[in-house]
Amino acid sequence: MADGKPEGNGLSSGQSQLPIPAFDPPKKPKRNKYALACAFLASMTSILLGYDIGVMSGAIIYIEKDLKITQVQKEVVMGILNVYSLLGSAAAGRTSDWIGRRYTIILAGVIFFAGALLMGFATNYAFLMVGRFVAGIGVGYALMIAPVYTAEVSPASTRGFLTSFPEVFINFGILLGYVSNFAFSKLPTHLGWRFMLGIGAVPPVFIALGVLAMPESPRWLVMQGRLGDARRVLDKTSDSLEESKLRLSEIKSAAGIPEHCTDDVVSVSKQHHGEGVWRDLLVRPTPAVRHILMCAVGIHFFQQASGIDSVVLYSPTIFEKAGIHNDTDKLLVTMAVGFTKTIFILVATFLLDKIGRRPLLLSSVAGMILSLTGLAVGLFIIQGSDHKVVWAIALCITAVLSYVAFFSIGMGPITWVYSSEIFPLKLRAQGCSMGVAMNRVTSGVITMTFISLYEAISLGGAFFLYAGIAVVAWVFFYTLLPETQGRTLEEMEMLFGTFFKWRSTARELKEKKGESNEQVEMANSTTTGTGN
């Protein structure tokens, strides 16, 4: 009491000034507006895929009438873009390591712009397929790079929210495609579908201009040895300067740059420009990398194998089989599908960082299973009846809407979020490109065989098959995918490697973190006691 202050108050004051971040975390910071703007601009490239999916579902009605194509040609033109996009996504990983994430996004827009113009001016089926090829390359680039850039620029506190943006814009693009179908449906048949496809050249122009205002990914800058530039970007995209320093330290460690190195520019080995990555991914992967690759490729496979592109691309066909025969009515109901997907994906973006990846994903797939089963039952009843069954038609429409809603609230965004955040820094670009490649191949196979499939086993049988695949997906996700919510990108590798035993690994990490917290608390207590 010699200092004139009560002992208890002195202790309390000392304690209040000591930071105990692990034991007594600060309040959640507000969303970083700069990181939000960067993620928003980068993710806009995903509009390209969404628009093509949405617009082709309606344009094919008029292409079929104008060009007199066969059912097989119809299947091919609908689904071939997904196969072509495989080439773009495979090249995008190396390209983004070479020229940077930002310029790869611009390149994606330029390629799709050319493809959209070619499709709009197509005079025959072969010309149209050339346009599909060019547009597909652009879509492949966009699909791979948008989630990678967004994950690398996002702070851990909002990474789930921000890396769900690509899926948001895919859905927004689908909705724009549906609206375009309806808007140009009254034009003469030979003009309508060309306007629907050609107008897709407009979004890439604005996207490319917007991306020029974005910074480069801090992780790519570190891989190039540009520490000063990376530091400035991290200062802007982190929730605090302390977090910025921590992120930079973790990235330097992952890139093999010494912690004590503070120069603005340092030399890096050639390995950090992309060489040796395929060896580490496929030839000699560690158990952790093998587990990560299995999860990333698996989640992309099941996203498409459960039938989402068949439902979105062939919505008019499904509704026609369900008893809706007027072209305008089919397009209106299809627009309802687009609105439903868009609304629910917006809901999902706000839940990813609150609820976590696994609960949303498992709930989403369970809802998809029920919806697909309901749709299959409704279609069987309609096809087996010789008169109009109103309640079965209502069941089919409801099932389609609930299916896309459940997909958008979990399976849709989490596929991109999860695969973009689990790979180690050095392997991230090429690892994500492998996931996207699987996504596009599966989508291409599903969409190019859908008509043949339902002609062989009936439309109801096709959706029963998709429901069965979704059941397998649920089991795969439950047993193999760890929760990644709240972890930094550099911590991910510690979660993986034990495959079906990942839960015990997660418990061990939690226990170690608890021990670390106790040590911090004891150190702070000791400091407080010394101060008194």
pLDDT per position as a tens digit, 298-356: 999 999 999 998 888 888 888 888 877 777 777 788 888 888 888 888 888 777 778 88
Query: Do 492 and 421 touch, CB atoms closer than 8 A?
Result: yes
What percent of the chain is modeled with pLDDT above 90? 22
pLDDT for the residue 18: 45
Task: Tell me how far apart the alpha carbons of residues 296 and 500 are, in angstroms, rounded to a whole number.
Answer: 15
449-506 residue pLDDT tens: 898 898 899 999 999 999 999 999 999 999 988 887 766 655 677 778 777 777 777 6
Closest CA relative to residue 211, chosen from 269, 141, 298, 164: 141
The alpha-carbon radius of gyration of the chain (Å, integer) is: 25
Q: Which stretches of 422-501 are DSSP H helices?
A: 428-457, 459-480, 492-495
Does the pLDDT at position 23 exceed 70?
no
At which residue do the structure tokens 């093509």 appear? 52
Read off the pLDDT of each residue in 158-182 and give the average, rounded to a whole number: 83
pLDDT for the residue 498: 75
- For 95-111, letters b (16+ CB in 10 Å) and e give bbbeebbbbbbbbbbeb
83-130 residue pLDDT tens: 888 888 878 878 888 898 889 999 998 999 999 999 999 999 999 999
Does the pLDDT at position 12 exceed 70?
no
pLDDT for the residue 435: 87
CA dihedral (402, 405, 411, 415) positive or negative: positive
Closest CA relative to residue 39, chosen from 218, 202, 159: 159
Other CB atoms closer than 10 Å to residue 119's CB: what's the count? 29
Which DSSP string corresponds to 271-338? GGGTTTHHIIIIIS--HHHHHHHHHHHHHHHHHHHTTHHHHHHTHHHHHHHTT---HHHHHHHHHHHH
Task: Tell me how far apart the alpha carbons of residues 276 and 200 are, in angstroms, rounded to a whole number.
Answer: 38
Does the pLDDT at position 532 exceed 60?
no
What percent of the chain is modeled with pLDDT above 70? 86
Confidence of residue 399 (pLDDT cuts 50, 70, 90): very high
Closest CA relative to residue 165, chosen from 72, 316, 39, 9: 39
At which residue do the structure tokens 């629910």 appear? 344
pLDDT for the residue 331: 79
Task: Tell me how far apart the alpha carbons of residues 423 and 151 are, in angstroms, rounded to a whole number.
Answer: 11
Which DSSP string corresponds to 377-405? HHHHHHHT-SS--HHHHHHHHHHHHHHHH
208-233 residue pLDDT tens: 888 888 899 998 998 888 889 999 99
47-57 residue pLDDT tens: 888 888 888 88
Task: Tell me how far apart the alpha carbons of residues 360 and 241 are, in angstroms, rounded to a whole number.
Answer: 32
Burial (0-12, 13-18, 19+ Cβ within 10 Å), 458: middle
